[in-house]
């Protein structure tokens, strides 16, 4: 009776835990912006009309993911829509089922206490919350089906045909969810070896059956992978690789690496302690425990071998083996607590770990530095209020999140460079082709080593068009350019020509990225853009100077340089060519509020002799500013 009562209380505790887990997974579910891979899944399911077209796209693009995730997500989106919350609800629901299965595995292997602790860890761990709030639910699908296969494995070994069929079904669905499910299925082999029962061959036949069910897809996709995904070898030191995987696994990517590194070390030590304790316990199912011990080992080795052939690594791949680690670690805690002299130490360590989990969750929910938010939602709202019919959005990286957040705001979106083979000249040619169709260009510079690593798009756009708006939103910057300088916000017509031919058509000033501001303070960044042209050939190369002068003509700050950031010497200017020439400097320390003036001119590089205007002046006044101190 007492045992039955304890079980009822335990199950009631699990129900309460599931309620808490659901609340944590639903909290701020729509607040986190979609990351790139999430938007990639969205792009798949809204752009493709049916499951066949999804298969064709996977094959054509060599997508490393199996189709089940895309099929299920497309069905869901067709019914419930494609908001951030709707896209992530399937992951939330799947993660709730995984919690129950982890509980079952813990109870089956060690005890109800260990099962409850493992379920508790699965419910609250920051990386689990991160995964549960992620559209890419192929990980939960694969883990779920591997755990189901694990639970029916003992029955299969006892000769139960129903379990045999269930194992084949779950194993096949796991593989069609994520290929790394193979690590859990292979680890089942250690269970089979130790069991050495009469029906061991049924597991071999079951694995063969899973292979046959995968064969039609494997025949199609493997040649694609061998010439694509698996034909891009990479190298990473094995010990560094292990450290990287375990560091993020311990607390997720929501705390500093120094904290997660020490947490990973403690967690690894506890895991191996738990493995030894459980394997020595004759009252436990050693074959099942050996499977749990080997599952993360097989996963670590397997992922590393894949990385050697595929130069892509995400640390959350190792989460595919998290149930085994959680159960072993929680089992270790239970065993250590039985030793009186270590009980208090074990409880202190667990308490500290729980505090770090809470700290990680706080960072994830409330600190943008650790969240998925990059600022795209804010950028979208800014553009929505200002986009006009003849605007175009330029993307320099194939980022589907931009398409997701801008899909109802701006119709014309172009990617430059369009492929990895495009050069700077190719990007300029593309800009020349469509500039007559647009008045303004919006741009979010993305930095990636795999696409436009040399910032060809940004350099081409900045050298060709005048930027009249910049805004930094969290981790991204929004920039707006005008095709015609005269249309820029805050631009001033100058129209002054030097005797040797150079003419300043316009000047544009931004203060800390904002146009049309003339009150400046210490440390403010000024970007002065001169728009030059010439009606006659220029024989010599001249240096442009932009000086900030007080009312007495004293120099306060300056920037000198060859036009176009050194790329457009005056003796290479074409007649009627428009040259954009940017000069950057910061406002220096000053003692009192005062009026100052920006002036510009040119001088010969060798002699420093200034060019004259037709009125014999050697510089052009550009605009007046007011230096205003904080006081």
User: In this predicted structure, what is the pLDDT of residue 196?
Assistant: 66
Average pLDDT, stretch 329-350? 90
Residue 2: pLDDT band by 50, 70, 90 thresholds? very low
User: In this predicted structure, what is the pLDDT of residue 178?
Assistant: 96
Domains of the chain, by residue range, sit at: 2-29+50-370, 376-483, 489-627
Three-state secondary structure call for residue 67? coil
User: In this predicted structure, what is the pLDDT of residue 286?
Assistant: 87
Q: Where are the alpha helices (DSSP H) in 178-285?
A: 182-195, 200-226, 238-251, 257-280
Average pLDDT, stretch 156-169? 90
CATH topology of domain 376-483: D-Maltodextrin-Binding Protein; domain 2 (3.40.190)
Residue 6: pLDDT band by 50, 70, 90 thresholds? low
Q: For 457-489, write each residue's pLDDT tens digit.
A: 999 998 889 988 888 888 899 999 999 998 888
Q: 111-124 in b/e burial notation, b at 16+ Cβ within 10 A? A: bbbbbbbbbbbbbb
Distances (CA, A) of 259 to 253, 255, 319, 491, 578: 11, 7, 19, 50, 53
Average pLDDT, stretch 23-29? 95
**Contacts of residue 451, Cβ cutoff 8 Å, sequence gap at least 6:** 396, 397, 398, 417, 420
- Mean pLDDT of all residues belonging to the chain: 91
User: How many angstroms from the chain centroid is the CA of residue 101?
Assistant: 29
**CATH classification (class only), 489-627:** mainly beta
Q: For 203-238, write each residue's pLDDT tens digit.
A: 999 999 999 999 999 999 999 988 888 777 878 889
User: In this predicted structure, what is the pLDDT of residue 300?
Assistant: 95
pLDDT at 550 over 60: yes
Secondary structure of 568-612 in HEC code, one letter for each residue: CCHHHCCCCCCEEEEEEEECCCCCCCEEEEEEEEEEECCCCCECC
Interatomic CA distance for residues 400 and 282, integer angstroms: 54
pLDDT at 369 over 60: yes
- The whole-model pTM stands at 0.86
User: In this predicted structure, what is the pLDDT of residue 449?
Assistant: 83
Residue 329: pLDDT band by 50, 70, 90 thresholds? very high
Residue 631: pLDDT band by 50, 70, 90 thresholds? low
Q: For 267-279, write each residue's pLDDT tens digit.
A: 999 999 999 999 9
């Amino acid at each position: 009776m007492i045992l039955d009562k304890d079980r009822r209380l335990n199950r009631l505790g699990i129900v309460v835990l599931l309620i808490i887990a659901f609340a944590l997974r639903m909290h701020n579910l729509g607040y986190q912006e979609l990351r790139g891979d999430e938007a990639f899944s969205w792009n798949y399911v809204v752009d493709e009309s049916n499951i066949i077209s999804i298969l064709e796209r996977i094959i054509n693009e060599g997508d490393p993911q199996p189709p089940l995730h895309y099929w299920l997500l497309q069905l869901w989106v067709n019914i419930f829509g494609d908001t951030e919350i709707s896209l992530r609800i399937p992951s939330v629901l799947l993660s709730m089922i995984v919690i129950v299965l982890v509980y079952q595995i813990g109870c089956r292997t060690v005890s109800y206490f260990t099962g409850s602790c493992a379920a508790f860890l699965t419910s609250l761990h920051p990386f689990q919350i991160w995964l549960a709030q992620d559209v890419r639910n192929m990980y939960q699908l694969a883990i779920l089906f591997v755990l189901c296969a694990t639970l029916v494995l003992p029955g299969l070994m006892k000769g139960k045909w129903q379990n045999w069929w269930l194992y084949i079904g779950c194993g096949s669905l796991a593989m069609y969810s994520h290929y790394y499910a193979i690590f859990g299925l292979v680890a089942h082999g250690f269970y089979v070896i130790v069991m050495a029962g009469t029906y061991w061959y049924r597991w071999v036949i079951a694995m063969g059956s899973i292979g046959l069910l995968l064969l039609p897809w494997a025949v199609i996709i493997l040649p694609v992978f061998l010439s694509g995904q698996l034909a891009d070898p990479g190298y990473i030191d094995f010990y560094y690789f292990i450290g990287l995987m375990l560091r993020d696994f311990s607390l997720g990517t929501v705390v500093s690496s120094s904290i997660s590194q020490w947490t990973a070390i403690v967690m690894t030590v506890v895991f191996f302690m738990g493995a030894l304790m459980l394997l020595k316990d004759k009252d436990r199912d050693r074959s099942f425990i050996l499977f749990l011990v080997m599952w993360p080992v097989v996963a670590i080795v397997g992922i590393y071998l894949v990385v050697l052939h595929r130069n892509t690594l995400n640390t959350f791949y190792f989460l595919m083996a998290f149930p085994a680690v959680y159960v072993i670690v929680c089992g270790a805690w239970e065993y250590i607590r039985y030793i009186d002299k270590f009980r208090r130490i074990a409880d202190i360590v667990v308490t500290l770990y729980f505090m770090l989990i809470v700290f990680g969750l706080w960072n994830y929910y409330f600190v943008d530095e650790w969240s998925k938010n990059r600022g795209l939602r804010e950028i979208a709202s800014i553009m929505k209020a200002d986009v006009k019919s003849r605007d175009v959005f330029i993307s320099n990286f194939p980022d589907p999140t931009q398409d997701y957040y801008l899909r109802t705001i701006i119709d014309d979106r172009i990617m430059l460079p369009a492929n990895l083979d495009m050069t700077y000249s190719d990007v300029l040619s593309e800009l020349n082709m469509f500039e007559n169709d647009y008045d303004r260009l919006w741009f979010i510079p993305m930095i990636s080593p795999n696409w436009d690593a040399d910032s060809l798009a940004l350099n081409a756009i900045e050298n060709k068009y005048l930027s009249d708006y910049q805004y930094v939103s969290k981790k991204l910057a929004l920039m707006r350019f005008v095709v015609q300088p005269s249309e820029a916000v805050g631009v001033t017509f100058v129209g002054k020509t030097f005797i040797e031919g150079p003419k300043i058509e316009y000047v544009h000033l931004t203060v800390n990225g904002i146009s049309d501001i003339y009150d400046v303070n210490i440390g403010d960044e000024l970007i002065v853009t001169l728009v030059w042209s010439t009606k006659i050939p220029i024989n010599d190369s001249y240096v442009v100077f932009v000086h900030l002068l007080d009312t007495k003509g004293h120099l306060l700050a300056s920037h000198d340089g060859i036009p176009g950031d050194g790329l457009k010497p005056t003796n290479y200017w074409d007649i009627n060519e428009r040259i954009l020439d940017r000069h950057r400097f910061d406002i220096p320390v000053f003692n009192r509020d005062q009026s100052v003036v920006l002036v510009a001119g040119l001088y010969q590089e060798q002699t420093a002799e200034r060019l004259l205007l037709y009125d014999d002046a050697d510089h052009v006044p550009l605009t007046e500013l007011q230096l205003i101190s904080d006081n």
